[in-house]
């Protein structure tokens, strides 16, 4: 059963506008990409990293700029032509940072109270997002397993997961939502597993993401892959596994 936001500790005083800002997972990915950049970035650079169309990124940046999360400045250059806009994270006060984190925690807490299968709902939501990311990158051709795994690895890299292909499938060495994942792996990790499944399905690939193991090691999550039909995965992803939902998280000691 759903819970009233007043029942969630610390949920009072959140600006309703913040809910709209962070209700879209791709908008959160855009913000995290800008924050993680070591220098100001262009719309095209952001689009390439998150796997979205440039126009979609512009729309997200406009909302983030309106709410004060990013700032833009014209590129300085000594050649003719219209200068590009460069985006960087805004300097926000501690109150805004706490509000952002509190909002994310509140949304996860709310979803956790819904009378539904949390993991299944999260996987379904992530699947839609993963499929959309592939479609917005351009209509894909049918691909083989190796090409599909490389495509999904690139998608995860743009989203900030620092992925590496391994014998098990794909190792993720960074989670942009680590703190939330530690407390609600069924929701957060479920979304990430769904993104991989959606991307692979949209690519028409003969490979599937069967499970995501959160924190298999303190700095590594593992996405287990296998080729459809029970055949052996390509050399860079050599294991086959039984389907499973995300396992309970093991927090680093």
Q: How confident is the model over 149-165, as pLDDT tens digits?
A: 888 888 888 787 888 99
Specify the pLDDT at position 237.
Answer: 31
The pTM (predicted TM-score) of the whole model is: 0.54
Same domain, 85 and 142: no
Same domain, 128 and 49: no
Q: Residue 183 pLDDT more than 60?
A: yes
- Alpha-carbon distance 177 to 34, whole Å? 15
Which residues make Cβ contacts (< 8 Å) with residue 94, sequence separation at least 6?
A: none
Specify the pLDDT at position 170.
Answer: 94
Specify the pLDDT at position 86.
Answer: 94
Same domain, 136 and 224: yes
Tell me what the mean pLDDT of segment 173-202 comes to.
87
Does residue 245 sit within a domain?
no
Same domain, 140 and 80: no
Sheet with 169-172, strands from edge to edge, namely 163-165, 169-172, 220-227, 207-217
The secondary structure of the chain in percent helix, strand, coil, rounded to multiples of 5, reads 50, 15, 35
User: Which of 53, 69, 98 is a domain's end point?
Assistant: 98
Does residue 105 sit within a domain?
no
Q: Residue 233 pLDDT more than 60?
A: no
Q: How many CB atoms lie within 10 A of CB 222?
A: 20
- State the alpha helices, DSSP H only, in the chain: 16-21, 25-36, 43-50, 54-66, 94-112, 118-136, 145-158, 178-183, 185-203
Label residue 140 by pLDDT band (50, 70, 90).
Answer: low
Same domain, 87 and 135: no
Question: Where is average pLDDT lowest: 54-63, 65-74, 93-102, 213-222?
Answer: 93-102
Does residue 42 sit within a domain?
yes
Q: Residue 249 pLDDT more than 50?
A: no
Same domain, 161 and 126: yes
Q: Which domain holds residue 122?
A: 118-230
Does residue 126 sit within a domain?
yes
Q: Residue 186 pLDDT more than 60?
A: yes
pLDDT tens for residues 76-89?
Answer: 776 777 888 999 98
Instruction: Select from 214, 236, 218, 217 the least CA-distant residue to 227.
Output: 236
Residue 159 Rama label (left phi>0; alpha psi -120 to 50; beta): alpha
First to last CA, the chain: 33
Specify the pLDDT at position 18.
Answer: 56
Which residues make Cβ contacts (< 8 Å) with residue 173, sequence separation at least 6?
A: 161, 162, 163, 164, 219, 220
User: Number of folded domains in the chain?
Assistant: 2
Q: Residue 244 pLDDT more than 70?
A: no
70 strand-pairing partners: 89
Does residue 247 sit within a domain?
no
DSSP code of residue 41:
B
Instruction: Select from 238, 29, 218 the least CA-distant residue to 149.
Output: 238
Label residue 6 by pLDDT band (50, 70, 90).
Answer: very low
Contact (Cβ atoms closer than 8 angstroms) between residue 113 and residue 3: yes
């Amino acid at each position: 059963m759903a819970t009233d936001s007043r029942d969630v500790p610390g949920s009072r005083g959140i600006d309703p506008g913040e809910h709209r800002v962070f209700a879209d997972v791709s908008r959160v990915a855009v913000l995290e990409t800008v924050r993680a950049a070591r220098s100001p970035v262009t719309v095209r650079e952001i689009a390439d990293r998150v796997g979205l169309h440039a126009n979609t990124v512009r729309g997200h940046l406009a909302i983030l700029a309106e709410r004060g999360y990013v700032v833009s400045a014209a590129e300085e250059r000594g050649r003719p032509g219209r200068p590009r806009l460069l985006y960087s994270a805004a300097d926000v006060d501690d109150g805004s940072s706490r509000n952002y984190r509190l909002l994310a925690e509140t949304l996860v807490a709310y979803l956790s109270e819904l009378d539904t299968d949390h993991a299944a709902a999260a996987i379904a939501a992530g699947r839609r997002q993963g499929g959309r990311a592939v479609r917005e990158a351009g209509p894909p051709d049918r691909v083989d397993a190796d090409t599909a795994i490389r495509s999904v690895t690139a998608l995860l890299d743009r989203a900030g997961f620092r992925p590496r292909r391994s014998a098990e499938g794909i190792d993720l060495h960074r989670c942009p939502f680590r703190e939330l994942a530690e407390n609600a792996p069924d929701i957060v990790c479920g979304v990430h597993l769904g993104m991989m499944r959606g991307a692979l399905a949209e690519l028409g690939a003969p490979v599937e993401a069967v499970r995501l193991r959160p924190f298999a090691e303190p700095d590594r999550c593992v996405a287990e892959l296998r080729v459809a039909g029970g055949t052996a995965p390509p050399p860079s992803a050599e294991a086959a596994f039984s389907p499973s939902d995300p396992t309970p998280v093991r927090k680093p000691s």
